Structure 1
Amino acid sequence: MNSGTISASGADLSSNGAIYVSSQNGGSIGTITNTGSLVGTTADISNVAGSVGTLNNSQGVGNPNGALTYTGILPSAYNIIVNSPTNYGQLSGSGVSGVTTFGVYLGSSLTKGTYASVLTGLASGTNVNATTGMFNGTAWNLVLNASNSWDLVVQNSATNTLQSVQINASSLATMYNQQAAPYQAALTYDCPVYDENNFCVTAGGRYTYVDASPSANAQAGLVVVGYRPLKNLRFGAFADQSINSNSPPRFSQSNPSPMWGLFAKWNLNEDGTGLGVQASVVTSSSKLTVTRPQLDNTEAGLGNTQFDGQGYQLTTNFLQPLSDSFALVPYFGLRYTHIQADAYTENTSTAVTSPLSYDDMAQNNLSAIGGVGIYSHLAEKLTATASVGFQQSLHHSMANYQGTSAITGLEHFSVQMPSANHSMATATAGLFYDISKQQRLGINVLWQQQAFSDANTTTALANYSIGF
């Protein structure tokens, strides 16, 4: 313990114990760093005619001696030391003069929230300068409370909030891939078995897996209905209803209505050989629930948005038999997909006081597709198919993950999505068993590289077709 007068011209005074200090001469002290207790008789620090450059203080909440008391000329700068929400500095002034610049000590650990009565007895505009500031990417401000003391209010971290958006960007890319894969499969849907009434019904299931980081998968049931007005022309419609969807962490997708679409297929010859053309369209609408990861000094903001899309495809092929049991099928076409998440704002709650607002975000992709397939009759009723091909992007656009917030330092944000692939490979394999002339069982697997880099999808289809 120390009692008396301490003179330190241009020097630093550090304290981590119980010390009685009274400075009443014309000298100066460069820096006082108090990490323990300063205890004086009339005041813990009394500066009548001298000067103090910087006062760093942790004495206050959590200290048995309470706030650090101060009289006289204020230091040029006062930095609060914050160790935790229950251990931080408080300065209580009495008969003070001059102006001090408030700040947060570099070694502090700030947590979002309010630190009560960090300054008492200091008047606004007269004794306190700098009532707002930033600390390691986190904004803070001083607010006068009902007791005429200053509270330190720590906001959400702009730096960490932006990082939470960046983390979600990779998961959002997986959601776009998970949406694109069913479109690519649905644009090939067909109803191939007909009888004397020229009607066909196909029922089955779909499983889609997104091989990415993070991964995702989805299961769906599907129904396809076709009508054949001519032996070489058929058209129809389909509905593909999601049954279960396992989305990336912090994302949840619900599909209250099915993905549905239309198709038409024409062949030059009634037996399907020679030139063939197929046109297809697909559309879907779902809802996404998105939660931000909660990092230090951030909020786990949660919001809901509409997640819609459409796909269009036109392909031509030429089925060339090479033998009674083997045929070659080169194909070429165009595919366009549009997938969009609508603009939304996170929900406000007691836990989320600074929700983020996001702009709408669309992915558009116009691609040329092509490749070669084979048909092989393995047995009287068993047929195998396979193909390899490509998807070359002719035009690709993807909006940034961007929006606005009320968080200081993050009024606007924009996160670029993962880089895009423009040349993508695709492959299929299938097996079909004709139960009878009017009934068929089929299994088909479609593998496709996706627009976002380092991601590919696998879709498996199993179905039963019957003709009427």
Structure 2
Amino acid sequence: MALAANSACITSPGVINSPCNDVVWIANDLTVNSSVGATGAFALKANSNGTFNLTNNGSISNSTSSGISYLSPHGGDITNSLSKTISGGVISDGGSGNYTGGAINNQGHIGNIQNLGSIDGGIVSWGNQGPVINKIQNSGSITGGIQSDGTISSASIVHGIENSGFIIGGIANTGSSAPFFSVISGGIINSGTIADGISNFGGSQIDLIRNSTSASIITGGISNSTGSTIENISNSGAITDSNNAIYSDGRIGALSNNSGGLIQSLATSGVALNLDVNSSIPTLTNAGTISGGANAIYSGGSIGELNNNLGGVIEATVPSSNALSLDSGSIINTLNNNFGGEIRANVSGGTAITLDPGSSITTLKNAGTISGGADGISLVGATITKLTNTGSIIGTSGYGIRSDAYSSIVTLNNLQGQGNIAGPLTYTGTLPTNYNIIINDTNHYGQLAGFSITGGLTFGVDSSSILSAQTYLAVLSGLTSSNITNYSSIFNTWTNFNSSYKWELIAGANPTTWDLVVAALAPPPPVATNITGAGTIYQSSNLGTTVNPVFDGGTLQVSNAGSVTPSFTITSNNGVIDQNGVASNFTGNITNSGAGVNGKLTIVNSGAGGSVALSGNNTYSGGTEVQAGANLSISSANNIGSGTLALVGSSTIPATLTTTASMTLNNQLTVSGDPVFNVASGTTTTISSPITNGVTAGDVVVEGGGILALTAANTYTGLTSITAGSTLALSGAGLIAASSNVTNNGTFNIAGKTSNVSVASYTQGTTGTLAMGIAPSNTPKLNVAGVASLAGGLSLTASSGSYAPGKYTLLTANGGVTGSFGNLTTNLSSYTRLGYGLAYDANDVYLVFTPNVADTQQSLVNTASALQNIYTLQNSVLANSFSYDCNEFGANGVCISVGGRNTAVSAANGLNNTSGLLIAAYRPHQNYRIGAYVDQNLSVNNAGSTVNLGNNTPLIGLFGAWNERLDGTGAEVKVSAAYGQKNTTINRQVVGTSEAGSGSSQLNSQGAQVTAKYGFGVVEHVIVAPYVGIRYTQNNMGGYTEGTSATVTAPLTYSALNTNATTALAGLGASYRFIPQAGVFGSVGVETDTNTANGTYSATGVTGLTPINFNANPVKTRPTATIGAYYDIEKNQRLGINGIYRQEPFQAVSTTSVMATYTIGM
């Protein structure tokens, strides 16, 4: 960097931290940080040798010349930071485009100027080298404006000037540096305020001026001088000026005043939009407000198209002023005042639209309001080629239209009149050459009221009119017949408007009023044609008038629901019926058009829903096709003639065949896509021919609640679906093996098949039923190649015969079975007493015949009864063993007793057993003894052999006793315990159809007893001993399963059978020794169960079996008694015999035991 007068202010390279005067800036970037910064004759000057970027964080000021003088052509950026200042002297043109002053004076190329602070003195760009500023962005304030004598543009820049702050002093695009013309490329975007306007002159160009928001303001207006161009002006804010808000004598490419936008002249003599003689605007669009004192719009040039849209207002606010004024020679090609638009002058005077001599409007369309305090439209030596009025044209104190003797309106089309609040269109002066009334309806039609008129008009009815037969009153008023140039050809003379109506002009209420009469024309006689031409549509309502009942390649569309009664013929070109979303019935016969002709009938549906019923005796032979969305309904096979019946659905939209009565179809039948067979409830439709694929693979969907019966081997490969309530039945040769899947939510009935049925896969829902037949010798099954997914029900129809226990295979699925049938219904009970049920494995479903439940239950009852006796026997042996004792001791204190026992149960089969006994005891002291015993079963007598006990394991017991005296008097306490087990074989008896099942288990018996007695020697050799005690016993048999054999196909599995009882004992015993070597003894007592568990006899394996309470009504309190005698054959040797009677817990069951022993003491 090279510096002039003061270099000490540069404290580091490229930084000014203290005041500097007259800094010449040569290279590199520069940052001003000092609050005084750069000052002097020129504060900063960028030399022409380098690229410089300047950032002002302090102050750059010059009160007389430029704050920044930029000469470099290399495009550096200037940034003025927030709240910082760049100031210079007032911009001054020294002549020939030489400018001095300005906060920024550019003669080179500046990249971007970004201002966040204050630029006082403005920005000027000038010089004969074509100065350039790429872009100016202002969010602060620029005082002194922006003046460009070069280019504000760059290929990478969207907009040349973007202002969101304040620009005071306006923007001037001067264009004075020839041969360079000023350009603001990308235009000016203003979302802030621009004071003092925007001017474009000297042949300059501004691409765009956009006042972008409702808060955007441009005061001082916009000026575009001769030869200059503004490509586009778009206003959403406010553009105002005390004279002309927008003035142009050059070209404005397009001007759009948007909704909410305001273009306004603030002076009573001002013009909002002033277009001078050299001006042109191809397109002018207004949806906001254009308002001026003298004129809203004044044009001396040309406007291509002016559109005043909904919400748009073009207004002159000062009395006697005109809203839109066309000066001599000016042109508007098209003026559209659209619905909701207003062009209005002050109600106190003035005209909405004035056309001065030589001016013209080619097309004027008014659907809004054109109103003036004087006239609506005034022509003075001017021309409007075509004026169409569907809105209102109003002259408050004058007329809607005023046309002087030198003016011309070539054609006037008018709706204003009846039904318009403004009343008839009023007119004065020279009449239009052509006048056409517009009629919308009987209450809205045009009326023209003439006042002081001259010339004549040709009257007509506009072609857009909607006529009705009636008289339209006062369509013309204020005109004599001489003012109607075609009077002679229309007065009381009919003119055809179209093929339906004609009109004529008649005299009205007075000689200058004329009415219009409209009458209907008689329709021409119809010309009947055949239903011809592929794709040509004819209406069924025209049959008998314009349409013959002959199908010849065309389409007959059903017009209305109901019957179509004619009989039809079909040519070799075939025919089509379009269902059209309604239900129809073709009741006539449909036949071929001649010998050798095979006509085909196709049903389509261009609507939604509906059906086509054929109910005639139809003999056409080319076949029938039903397409996707169509529904063909028949009540007889004769309704569809001969030939192939093709149901052609799509992948999502079915073609439907509805049958309403039982029938057999012999036609060849093809399916494509997703056809539906809708069979009425209570009816059966039998298809005797194979169903095959059509042009694509096809499905078969059965619905409607009836039965679709297939008796042939079908080859279609789509899915098969049966809906809830409907049935698909196979019989005879009927097969659907080629179908990709069977989904059954209704009934799949194969009971009529005598051989196996094969399907690819099978899915049955909860509402589905599989119906099959079953016979003793032959049961056809369902073979599934894939997976069978099951739910719902299975219905089996049985044939008579002898059924045996075992299983029948109903279904085999190679891919596996999932789920199961929820219920089974069958008539098997009419042919067999066997039980039956379903069984499953991974790939199969079986019907298993089992013995009759009642018979099996009774066999269990019988077995339980036999087991009661066995339990009684074992429990009696256990309880009696607690009385075993050995009381003859020798010198060694040892006692040995051997003997035998027989116990009999009072049962019908004479159950008893015989055992050998061994009892041993030891007396270590004269007051107590201990011992053990073995009771070995030798034989069991059990007639009937329902239950057999093994003899291999003995009952083993222990006992201990304390006695007060050896002679039996006094107190004695005895404790006994025993355990025994028996191998048990149970052979279930046959009852009816029940099986002779057999199984084995182990019956364990165990218990303990404590007794206490006290002996009284009442007389010599007689002892009486009352006793009490408590006993616990239990008998447990483990669960078991019967074996399987040729005669046992349903073996039962039994649960464990456990019983136990806690019993209180009480009684009185007595003994009498009648000689020293012999005596007798006995006792009587009672037993009471204090706690019992009697168990249940429970088996599974046949459905419906119930557990049996093993002792439903136990005897809780029971008598018992003993009696016996002994004889001492030698010292310490004794023979004994005794008997025990016991009432058992089972009703009417008792036991009697007899024991004989030989005892020796050692």
TM-score (normalised: structure 2): 0.31
Alpha carbons 1:174, 1:212 under 8 Å: kept: yes
Q: Aligned ranges for residues 146-225 of structure 1 at < 5 Å?
A: 154-225=849-920
- Counterpart residue number, 2:928: 233
Tell me how far apart the structure 1 counterparts of residues 1015 and 981 of structure 2 sit (CA, whole Å). Answer: 35
Q: Over alpha carbons, which structure has the higher Rg?
A: 2
Q: Measure, in 2, the Cα distance between the counterparts of 1:460 and 1:454.
A: 20
Change (3 A) 1:296 1:113: farther
Higher relative contact order (CA 8 A, sep 6+): 1
Structure 1 position 186, deviation (Å): 0.6
Letter in 1 for 2:978: V
Q: Deviations over 1:286-312 (max 9, x none)?
A: 110111112333322111111102121
Preserved contact between residue 170 and residue 214 of structure 1 (Cα < 8 Å): no
Q: How far is the alpha carbon of 1:436 from its aligned partner?
A: 1.8
Amino acid at match of 1:318: Y
Q: Is the 8 A contact 1:132 1:141 kept in 2?
A: no
Corresponding residue for residue 428 of structure 1: 1122
Find the aligned partners of 1:184 and 1:80 in 2 and give their Cα distance.
60
Find the counterpart in structure 1 of residue 1146 from structure 2: 452
1:440 has 2:1137 as partner: no
- 1:393 corresponds to which letter in structure 2? D
Identity of aligned residues (%): 31
Q: CA deviation at 1:131?
A: 6.8
Mapped contact 1:341–1:361 kept (Cα < 8 A): yes
Q: Report the counterpart of residue 1108 of structure 2 in structure 1.
A: 415
Say if 1:315 and 1:333, in contact at 8 Å, map to a contact too.
yes
Residues 1:139 and 2:139 aligned together: no
Query: 1:254-285, CA deviations, whole angstroms, 9 ceiling, x for partnerless residues?
Result: 13221011111111123221111111011101
CA shift in 2, pair 1:230/1:101, >3 Å = closer
- Provide, for residues 118-168 of structure 1, a one-character-per-residue CA deviation record: whole Å limited to 9, x for no partner: xxxxxxxxxxx987656356115699xxxxxx9975333233222211111
Q: 2:967 aligns with which of 268, 271, 296?
A: 271
Aligned length: 387
Q: Structure 1 pair 334/116, CA: closer, same or farther in 2 (3 Å)?
A: closer
Q: Aligned in 2, Cα 1:142/1:182: closer, same or farther, shift over 3 Å? A: closer
Measure, in 2, the Cα distance between the counterparts of 1:443 and 1:402.
42
Structure 1 equivalent of residue 1048 of structure 2: 352
Matching of residues 314-353 of structure 1 within 5 Å: 314-353=1010-1049
SS in 1 for 2:1110: coil
**Contact 2:750–2:773 under 8 Å retained in 1:** no
- 1:246 deviates by 2.2
Q: Look up the SS of the partner of 1:160 in the other structure.
A: helix
Point out where structure 1 has 5 or more consecutive residues left out of the alignment. Answer: 1-24, 28-46, 53-68, 93-99, 118-128, 144-149
Q: Residue 1086 of structure 2 corresponds to which residue in structure 1? A: 390
Cα separation, 1, equivalents of 2:862 and 2:916: 32
Superimposed CA distance per residue, residues 43-68 of structure 1 (whole angstroms, 9 cap, x where no aligned partner): xxxx979x99xxxxxxxxxxxxxxxx
The 8 Å contact of residues 137 and 159 in structure 1, kept in 2 or not, is answered as no
Instruction: Give TM-score scaled by structure 1 length.
Output: 0.72
Q: In 2 relative to 1, CA 353–90 (structure 1 residues): closer, same or farther, beyond 3 Å?
A: closer
User: What residue is the counterpart of 1:464 in the other structure?
Assistant: 1158
Answer with 348-357 or 241-250: which moved more: 348-357
Match of 2:1007 in 1: 311
Supply the distance in 2 between the matched residues of 1:202 and 1:178 (Cα, whole angstroms): 23
Cα distance in 1, alignment partners of residues 1046 and 780 from structure 2:
30
Q: Secondary structure at the match of 2:1035?
A: strand
- Residues 353, 152 of structure 1: alpha-carbon distance in 2 compared, 3 angstrom cutoff: closer
Following the alignment from structure 1 to structure 2, what is the Cα–Cα distance between the partners of residues 196 and 455?
Answer: 45
Paired AA for residue 417 in structure 1: F
The DSSP-based 3-state class of the residue aligned with 1:165 is helix
Distance 1:111 1:304 in 2: 26
Question: How far apart are 1:380 and its partner, in Å?
Answer: 2.9
Alpha-carbon shift at residue 417 of structure 1 (Å): 1.5
**CA-to-aligned-CA distance 1:360-410 (integer Å, 9 cap, x gap):** 1111110111111111123332211111101001101111001322x3444
State the one-letter code of the partner of 2:961.
K
SS at match of 2:1068: strand
**C-alpha displacement at 1:315, in angstroms?**
0.4
The equivalent residue for 1:379 is 1075
Paired amino acid for 1:399: G
CA contact (8 A) 1:139 1:409 kept: no
- Range with greater deviation from structure 2 (232-241 or 345-354): 345-354
SS state at 2:971 partner: strand
Shift of 1:111: 3.8
Q: Which residue of 1 aligns with 2:487?
A: none
Q: Secondary structure at the match of 2:796?
A: strand
Partners of 1:212 and 1:445 lie apart in 2 by 19
Give 1:195 deviation, angstroms.
1.1
Q: How far does residue 452 in structure 1 lie from its aligned partner after superposition? A: 1.4
- Closer, same or farther in 2 for the Cα pair 1:154/1:320, shift >3 Å? same
Secondary structure in 1 matching 2:851: strand
Give 1:176 shift: 0.6
Q: Alpha carbon RMSD of aligned pairs, Å?
A: 3.9
The question of whether the paired residues in 1 share the 8 Å contact of 2:750 and 2:772 is answered with no
User: Counterpart of 2:1135 in structure 1: which amino acid?
Assistant: L
User: Would the aligned equivalents of 2:934 and 2:957 in 1 still touch at CA under 8 Å?
Assistant: yes
Deviation, structure 1 residue 202: 0.1
How far 1:79 sits from its partner (Å)?
11
Which deviates more from structure 2 when the two are superposed, residues 355-364 or residues 453-462? 355-364
**3-state DSSP of counterpart to 1:378:** strand
SS of equivalent residue, structure 2 residue 859: helix
More strand by share: 1
Provide the residue aligned with 1:244 in structure 2: 939
